Chains A and B, each alone.
Chain A
Amino acid sequence: MGEVHKSRSIRLLVFIVIALAAFFLSNVVDELRVFQGASLSVYIVAIASIVLLTGYSGQISLGHGALMAIGGYSAVLAHNHWKVSIPISFAIAIVSTAFFGSILGWAAARLKGPYLAGTTLALAVGLPSLANQFSVLGGEQGLAFDVGAPPKSLGSDFTQYKWYFWICALAALIIVWITQNILTSRYGRQWRAMRSAPISASLSGIQIGRSKVLAFTISSGIAGLAGAMLVMTLNLVTPSAFPLSLSFAIVTGAVLAGVTNLGGGVIGALVLVAIPDIADLLAGKMGGAEKISANLPGFITSLILIVTVLLLPNGPKLSKLVSHKTK
């Protein structure tokens, strides 16, 4: 027991050190990097939801973009109609998306492999455009989500982007810390047992169905938070904020870092944030046509996904080393 407590407190210490480092970094780098830091936090949270779902419980989802949309719209509606604060609107996003996820998970627990992928994919295609059908959701024009200027006490040169970054980074650190604790808890162990050997897991008393629904529910809640963070950085929620490519991007990010590795999610998120820059660079080399750079990111994401699955199915070396050692 002492060992567990010790490792938990060390983990907490690590998170606090990272938080301090992020805080100092946000004061030094330029605004673009600060804004990218906010996007990075969004991706880290979204990837964490996939790691929990796919890496641990063994269920596939190509529809997490749709779950992010639910989180995004919930946060905005709560913020705009009930005038709740940002943390509360984020909490509402988590709860409402988790609720939706539990229903979805109930259906998903009966599906396997490509069927589950297909079902969730349909969700990613269809759900965000539902917003066009209900005027309360603002159609393609969307709804504004103004979290306001940073508090005056932070100083006059504290930019809006830094404010986004602080909120997103804090939310990401908290949720990743919680996720890490869930994954090392008995639920995490149950999920892993269920993923690797469902029959022996059920023989040892794990209720497969319930366990799968629980994983889907928690994963959805995390995705909902990512959605709320995303729309905050955009100041706006519209269906086009959750394209199909977003669902693919976060799966790519998770696969990239070895889908069972929460810490590796940071690498996946870094790559996702860097892709548009790389695309711009390449498009510049290819004559700089804006038409090329608009389509290149999707192409690069797909390419990275294919190459990773072919060459590094368990993520880069780092995770191999760790998994080797855990033997």
Chain B
Amino acid sequence: MFGSIRHKRSLVAAATLATAALTLSTLPAQAFSPHYEVGVSASTIKLGITIPLTGSAAPGYNKVPAAMSAYFNYVNDNGGVNGRKISLVVKDDAYLPTLAVAKTNDLVLKDKVFAVVGALGTANNKAVASSVNLGRRGIPSLFINTGYSGFADKAKYPTTYPLLPSYIVEAKIMGQYIKDNYAGKKLGLIYQDDDFGSDAQAGFKAAGVKFDVSVPYASGSQSAASGAAWVGKLKAAGAEVVVVFGVSSATGVALAASAALSYKAQWILGSVGGDATTLKALGVPAAILTGAQGASFLPSPGDATDEYIKQFQDINTKYNAGAVFDNNVLIAMNTAMLTVQALRAAGSNPTRAGLMAALESKGGSFASASFSPILYSSSSHVGYTGYWIGKYNSSGVMLPDGGKYTLYTTDSGAGAVNTVASKRPAMPAKGLPNN
């Protein structure tokens, strides 16, 4: 008999629930302020970022959010953007696509950000694009921190704006450089076994470079033991010139292992994992880095004669207490400065659609530290397209070959690698955009 009492109770509960639901449904829909876009108020603009702060890929990248916030705070203290202060909501995705999806959902649904800025990682951005579907929702994802060439596909990623030159561009330029300078040498490649790495392989193939030994690694799998295994393979194949096209943690592991195993090669480091400060923090001896080569699209962070570097270093000292000024801080501040220009260009009452329209019509003229132009237009989401090649000196500063920056540019297709005169807009006074 207890059964009927129990069922009576669940019936009552269910009926109450249904009544509550019906009552609630008669309430008016949420009353949003009619004047402002989501994430924008009279006094603030809220932005969000997902980036690894913990986990194996975190070293280096974990400095980015603080440096971006430092630049935004500097701008906020100097009047903000049309009177509004910028705030940045930071979410740790541990370089895992599922976490990136969950955290971006949080940014969109809980924090209700105006736009996502500088979201990091190829796999992560792909997952977010298909799952959270920022495109379908019309939410801009600005200056994503990945060079996967596919993100420039405007039809597939309508609200995504890549900034970095694509990995294909980087590999083509490196490939050309290798052909010009290391012809006849035995070549080795360490690459990440996902879209990041497949882009690199496509680029080297386009440049006509064939590696004698290729070592793929799974994202997140790098340890001292795996480093030793990679170096073992390179050594066995007798590679004399080795390209490391991986994240900092993988690059660090490879270099530390080759120092430990006294394996000598001419190292060429991809821009993703080529930050000297991060590598040193990961235990890479200075000796093995000295003489290694690398590619970068921004001036060397150690080059205090550069007007952008000088200004950013100044802001870093005042607003980002204690942080060593390296490539991560530089990319962060450069991204933040572009963001401020985009927000200014979107007008006094910014909307998401307006922001993207402004990027496409004016983005090419924004001031930025790179010598490469930005190719945004109504038909293109391609950002930078160029790299310069340099060599690390004994204090870990990468300096350009021959003492001056030579910019190589190309596209993600079959186009040739060209040398162009490096030209860029001057740094706005005090580093405060006036566009």
Chain B residue contacts of A309, Cβ below 8 A: none
Contact with A294, one of B5, B54, B221 (Cβ below 8 angstroms): B54
Alpha-carbon separation in the docked complex, A210 to B111 (Å): 51
Chain B residue contacts of A235, Cβ below 8 A: 101, 127, 130-131, 133
Alpha-carbon separation in the docked complex, A27 to B221 (Å): 44
Q: B39-47, B88-96, B319-327: which one contacts chain A?
A: B88-96
Contact with A290, one of B18, B91, B127, B221 (Cβ below 8 angstroms): B91
B194 at the interface (CB under 8 A from A): yes
Contact with A240, one of B2, B21, B99, B136 (Cβ below 8 angstroms): B99
Chain A residue contacts of B25, Cβ below 8 A: 24, 27-28
**Min CB gap A120→B, angstroms:** 22
A199 at the interface (CB under 8 A from B): no
Q: Is the CB of B98 within 8 A of A236?
A: yes
Alpha-carbon separation in the docked complex, A18 to B17 (Å): 8
Alpha-carbon separation in the docked complex, A13 to B10 (Å): 10
A7 at the interface (CB under 8 A from B): yes
Q: Is the CB of B18 within 8 A of A28?
A: no
Q: Given A25-B24, A28-B27, are A140 and B220 also a contact pair (CB < 8 Å)?
A: yes
**Min CB gap A69→B, angstroms:** 12
Chain B residue contacts of A185, Cβ below 8 A: none
Q: Is the CB of B194 within 8 A of A141?
A: yes
Chain A residue contacts of B219, Cβ below 8 A: 139-141
Contact with A along B202-244 (1 / 0, CB 8 A): 0000000000000000111100000000000000000000000
Alpha-carbon separation in the docked complex, A325 to B5 (Å): 10
Q: Is the CB of B7 within 8 A of A240?
A: no
**Min CB gap B221→A, angstroms:** 7
Q: Which residue of A lies closest to B62 (CB)?
A: A291
Contact with A32, one of B2, B110, B131 (Cβ below 8 angstroms): B110
Chain A residue contacts of B122, Cβ below 8 A: 141
Alpha-carbon separation in the docked complex, A22 to B54 (Å): 37
Chain B residue contacts of A24, Cβ below 8 A: 18, 21-22, 24-25
**Min CB gap B117→A, angstroms:** 16
A153 at the interface (CB under 8 A from B): no
B105 at the interface (CB under 8 A from A): yes
B181 at the interface (CB under 8 A from A): no
Q: Given A32-B109, A140-B194, A291-B92, are A241 and B18 also a contact pair (CB < 8 Å)?
A: no
B195 at the interface (CB under 8 A from A): yes
**Min CB gap B299→A, angstroms:** 30
Alpha-carbon separation in the docked complex, A35 to B105 (Å): 9
**Min CB gap B158→A, angstroms:** 15
Q: Is the CB of A291 within 8 A of B53?
A: yes
Contact with B along A271-302 (1 / 0, CB 8 A): 00000000010000000001100110000000
Q: Which residue of A lies closest to B17 (CB)?
A: A21
Q: Is the CB of A28 within 8 A of B195?
A: no
**Min CB gap B92→A, angstroms:** 5
B184 at the interface (CB under 8 A from A): no
Q: Given A132-B221, A160-B133, are A17 and B18 also a contact pair (CB < 8 Å)?
A: yes
Q: Is the CB of B21 within 8 A of A21?
A: yes
Interface residue tally on B, bucketed by range: 35 or more
Q: Given A13-B11, A132-B218, are A240 and B24 also a contact pair (CB < 8 Å)?
A: no
B287 at the interface (CB under 8 A from A): no
* A-side interface mostly: helix
Chain B residue contacts of A322, Cβ below 8 A: 6
B150 at the interface (CB under 8 A from A): no
Chain A residue contacts of B33, Cβ below 8 A: none
Q: Find the residue from B24, B97, B109, B122 having the highest chain A CB count within 10 A.
A: B97
Chain A residue contacts of B101, Cβ below 8 A: 234-236
Chain A residue contacts of B304, Cβ below 8 A: none
Chain B residue contacts of A13, Cβ below 8 A: 11
Q: Which residue of A lies closest to B127 (CB)?
A: A236
Alpha-carbon separation in the docked complex, A32 to B105 (Å): 8
Alpha-carbon separation in the docked complex, A199 to B219 (Å): 51
Interface residue tally on A, bucketed by range: 35 or more
Q: Is the CB of A291 within 8 A of B14?
A: no
Q: Is the CB of B54 within 8 A of A291?
A: yes
Q: Is the CB of B195 within 8 A of A141?
A: yes
Chain A residue contacts of B11, Cβ below 8 A: 10, 13-14, 17
Q: Is the CB of B109 within 8 A of A21?
A: no
Chain A residue contacts of B10, Cβ below 8 A: 14, 263
Alpha-carbon separation in the docked complex, A20 to B20 (Å): 12
Q: A56-64, A101-109, A142-150: which one contacts chain B?
A: A142-150
Alpha-carbon separation in the docked complex, A68 to B7 (Å): 32
- From 135 to 178 in chain A, residues with beta carbon under 8 angstroms from any chain B beta carbon are 139-142, 144, 146, 149, 160-161
Alpha-carbon separation in the docked complex, A289 to B97 (Å): 21
Contact with B along A6-41 (1 / 0, CB 8 A): 010011011001101110110111111001000000
B15 at the interface (CB under 8 A from A): yes
Q: Find the residue from A30, A141, A146, A322 having the highest chain B CB count within 10 A.
A: A141
B123 at the interface (CB under 8 A from A): yes
Contact with B along A225-242 (1 / 0, CB 8 A): 000000000111010110
Q: Is the CB of A240 within 8 A of B14?
A: no
B401 at the interface (CB under 8 A from A): no
**Min CB gap B323→A, angstroms:** 16
Q: Is the CB of A241 within 8 A of B24?
A: no
Q: Which residue of A lies closest to B122 (CB)?
A: A141
Q: Given A25-B24, A139-B194, A291-B53, are A234 and B2 also a contact pair (CB < 8 Å)?
A: no
Alpha-carbon separation in the docked complex, A35 to B6 (Å): 31
Q: Is the CB of B27 within 8 A of A139?
A: no
Q: Which residue of A lies closest to B27 (CB)?
A: A28
Alpha-carbon separation in the docked complex, A148 to B420 (Å): 45
B4 at the interface (CB under 8 A from A): yes
Chain A residue contacts of B131, Cβ below 8 A: 234-236
With A7-B7, A325-B2 given, name 19 new contacts (CB 8 A). A3-B3, A11-B7, A17-B18, A20-B21, A21-B14, A24-B22, A28-B21, A28-B27, A29-B24, A35-B109, A139-B194, A139-B219, A141-B126, A141-B127, A141-B194, A144-B126, A235-B127, A238-B97, A322-B6
Task: Give the A-binding residues of B (Cβ under 8 A).
Answer: 2-7, 10-11, 14-15, 17-18, 20-22, 24-25, 27, 30, 53-54, 90-92, 94, 96-99, 101-102, 105, 109-110, 122-123, 126-127, 130-131, 133, 136, 193-195, 218-221
A-B contact pairs, 20 of them (CB 8 A): A7-B4, A7-B7, A14-B10, A14-B11, A17-B14, A18-B17, A20-B21, A132-B221, A139-B219, A140-B219, A141-B122, A141-B123, A141-B127, A141-B195, A160-B136, A235-B101, A236-B101, A240-B99, A290-B90, A322-B6
**A-B residue pairs, 4 tightest by C-beta:** A235-B131, A24-B21, A32-B109, A141-B123
Task: Give the B-binding residues of A (Cβ under 8 A).
Answer: 3, 7, 10-11, 13-14, 17-18, 20-22, 24-25, 27-32, 35, 132, 139-142, 144, 146, 149, 160-161, 234-236, 238, 240-241, 263, 280, 290-291, 294-295, 322, 325-326
